[in-house]
Structure 1
């Protein structure tokens, strides 16, 4: 079945699912494969649970007219998403970057949704499956689409850009993330700039932070929209406060590093004619979740939980911002940073050296990589070792920064503090 004919079936209900545990009535089930699963095996179950059609790529599982056989289910999903996107003919904003993608996407969505019907990437479903699913969740009522793109290897952003066909783009920053896949910081810049290449080749537009030299350099030959004028940083203690056109805006985001994320949301809002009052309301009502820059007050301590992910650039920014807080009795709990490859030892040592320079009151380092570093700070090779220590030596009356890569699951520390 070709994409045009498949699209006619999809558009009757406009629903796509890939997990039989969450099948919606009249959806189209795509039987994706992974290293440990084969979605083809669940095609009949999907139909039984209410799906109108199931798309498979193994002939043995085509057991009824409702089951559609294609050469490759994943490629078909991607092609269908691109076809759907082009039928909708709506403006799409794509964003990528080393840090802050999801927070920035949520801020942009919060601002634009004050005036428009928006559809944005859910959570961080930003890969070769998540981007197609985001596009297919858009419908005739969607006025602006916001698509987050993630990558840990070269050519991924280029591929996702071809699927999403964005009209506008923004790269949050270029940092030391996924060095194992990108090879170096220069490799990160090249990989993320694949979005710029797409926008340039298709004569589209890009939002640019004028204070980021790499962004400015890489977009010289593209039509640019610079950050709105009159956005002024006020302070971040702990929440970022800024001024825009003479009006104070108090966010619920911690860390100076979030100023750029807020600035681009304001810029995009202004570009799409969202009023200043609407922008202010959207930002002041936005509260981060999912372990990203959350402030949690326990009975004993104030916790800044930033444990969704970590890399050398975001770790450095979080520590430097934490140092500037006016709070007394500060504690830092850091977990290993992953996907750094041959750079891992040097990058973890660099972070421990930075901590020494910042002279923070109490520091706990957790994980095999931090355990190998040379430092005067307390180290634990495993979370269980940290847990045992905190049970017998509880932290009291402290402001605590918790940060580490997702695999460290450091949100578990909260219940110990």
Structure 2
């Protein structure tokens, strides 16, 4: 970013002081420890820290100015006062986007939005200079910071928007003000803040209210609540599906896994169809692929561009990433979990295991509110259908899952405890799926198991 401090002040509704026109801002920071010369520091008040208390430290680090919502003392740099620093951060990002004139693609949905964002970036960046937000920096702070890191030279900005409560989208969408809005799906995620699936659909489709004039909506047709909510806001959204569906231009179908565990898919668009192999596996990824094809088509890319971009994609280390140790395949899907993604991952792992034993290492699905107990009981039923050799479980809903499963489960415990229990199974060939909500740090179990099976494969100590 290379706005002057005067431009920043005007964007935030403040009057520029003397010297503001000559001061160029290079980056925006919310962590005082990372501030260097020329940075603009926003004082953000969080659950544990209040940035106002670190404004002086930011000034000492070289901050060109500080944005604050209350009076602060002993700050040796200009201070611009605003009513709400988070809202001001969003306004500045919106101003920067308008200055750059980039086309912005906003991606949201209950599951798969980060996968779609990364896939679309891989496809679009073959033809255009492209920006994206880092991993899931997709909230009221992460989104504007990601936009402010983008440059005027980047023609397309692909930004993920994540919401967890009512009103979130109304705060995020005006910042993004997308030219292209993409909604991957809706399901029982963040029910604690969004109520029920109809509430999720309503909250996600609120994004469409903030489309720029002439903007386009790309929406899944596989979820009637979502599609019908979109139709109320946009006359003719572009539909896609993860199934063969007559009358839908963008369709993808999962054809199964190849010998390495990569997924084979058939993708159909108005240009024709192509069969491709991708570094992800499962029927639930077909909707992501169809979604990317629809969005890419709107951006002027071809079916060949989509196939090339998807096939060159590197696997995310925590999104259904397959790690082979001897005859045991560990699927690290620990990035996060909700009922929609959990069911898809379990069913895909079952299919990949075939006749080999399947072991599930699962954790709670958080932020489900009053739906938590019945949704975890439903998870137990999905597990029962998969007929695993063993289920390890971590979290408060062990008994709820066990009730739905109706079989024997073990508590996962800490990595050392889990490994001891794993050794008792004496499994030399099989598939292990590790998945749970991000806050449970299921990756610690996945990493421990990977070290174990690799050591066993090499004949080393357990």
Task: Tell which deviates more after alignment, 190-199 or 120-129.
Answer: 190-199
1:312-359 deviations in Å (ceiling 9; x for gaps): 121111122222225322211111111112221211111112222332
Quote the residue 1:226 is aligned against. Answer: 239
Alignment match, 1:315: 342
**Which secondary structure state, in structure 2, belongs to the residue aligned with residue 166 of structure 1?**
coil
Partner residue, 2:276: 249
CA drift at 1:282 = 1.4
Query: Deviations for 1:260-302, whole angstroms, at most 9, x for unmatched residues?
Result: 1112212222222224443222111112324111111124521
**Pairing 1:266-277 to 2, within 5 Å after superposition:** 266-277=293-304
Question: Is the contact made by 1:98 and 1:177 (CA closer than 8 Å) also made in structure 2?
Answer: yes
Match of 1:102 among 114, 120, 124: 114
User: Matched residues in 2 for 1:189 and 1:226: separation?
Assistant: 15
Task: Decide which of 406, 409, 412 is 2:441's aligned counterpart.
Answer: 409
Residue number in structure 2 paired with 1:390? 422
Query: 1:17-32, aligned counterparts within 5 Å?
Result: 17-32=29-44
SS in 2 for 1:61: coil
Match of 2:306 among 279, 287, 296: 279
- 1:8-407 paired onto structure 2 within 5 Å: 12-61=24-73, 63-199=75-211, 204-220=215-231, 221-227=234-240, 229=249, 231-237=251-257, 238-244=261-267, 245-299=272-326, 301-325=328-352, 327=354, 328-372=356-400, 373-374=402-403, 375-380=406-411, 382-383=413-414, 385-390=417-422, 392-393=424-425, 395-407=427-439
TM-score normalised by L of structure 2:
0.82
Query: Do the aligned partners of residues 161 and 383 (structure 1) sit closer, same or farther apart at CA in structure 2, a change above 3 Å counting?
Result: same
SS at match of 2:275: strand
Aligned length: 416
**1:11–1:215 CA distance, 2 compared to 1 (3 A):** farther
CA 1:75–1:246: 2 relative to 1, 3 Å:
closer
Tell me the TM-score normalized by structure 1: 0.91
C-alpha separation in 2, matches of 1:153 and 1:257: 25
- State how far apart, in whole Å, the 2-side matches of 1:187 and 1:48 are: 46
Residues of 2 paired with 1:381 and 1:6: CA distance?
Answer: 58
Q: CA deviation at 1:116?
A: 0.6
Q: Distance in 2 between matches of 1:194 and 1:42?
A: 36
Contact 1:111 1:282 in 2 (8 A): yes
In structure 1, distance between residues paired with 2:135 and 2:160? 9
For residues 290 and 34 of structure 2, the distance between their equivalents in structure 1, rounded to whole angstroms, comes to 37
Q: Secondary structure at the match of 1:236?
A: strand
Alpha-carbon RMSD: 2.6
In structure 2, the CA distance between the partners of 1:230 and 1:76, relative to structure 1 (3 Å rule), is closer
1:380 CA drift (Å): 1.0
Q: 8 Å contact 2:107–2:181 — kept in the other structure?
A: yes
When residues 83 and 76 of structure 1 are mapped into structure 2, their CA distance, relative to the original with a 3 A threshold, is: same
More moved, 334-343 vs 52-61: 52-61
Structure 1 residues 296 and 10: CA distance shift in structure 2, 3 A? farther
Pick closer, same or farther for the CA change 1:250–1:269 going to 2, 3 Å: same
**Post-superposition shift, 1:104?**
0.7
Q: How far does residue 255 in structure 1 lie from its aligned partner after superposition?
A: 1.6
- 8 Å contact from structure 2 (residues 188, 200) kept in 1: yes
- Structure 1 unmatched runs, 5+: none
What SS does the aligned partner of 2:157 have? strand
Q: Distance in 2 between matches of 1:74 and 1:357?
A: 46
* CA distance in 2 between partners of 1:299 and 1:88 (Å): 51
Give the 3 Å change call, closer, same or farther, for CA 10–38 of structure 1 in structure 2. farther
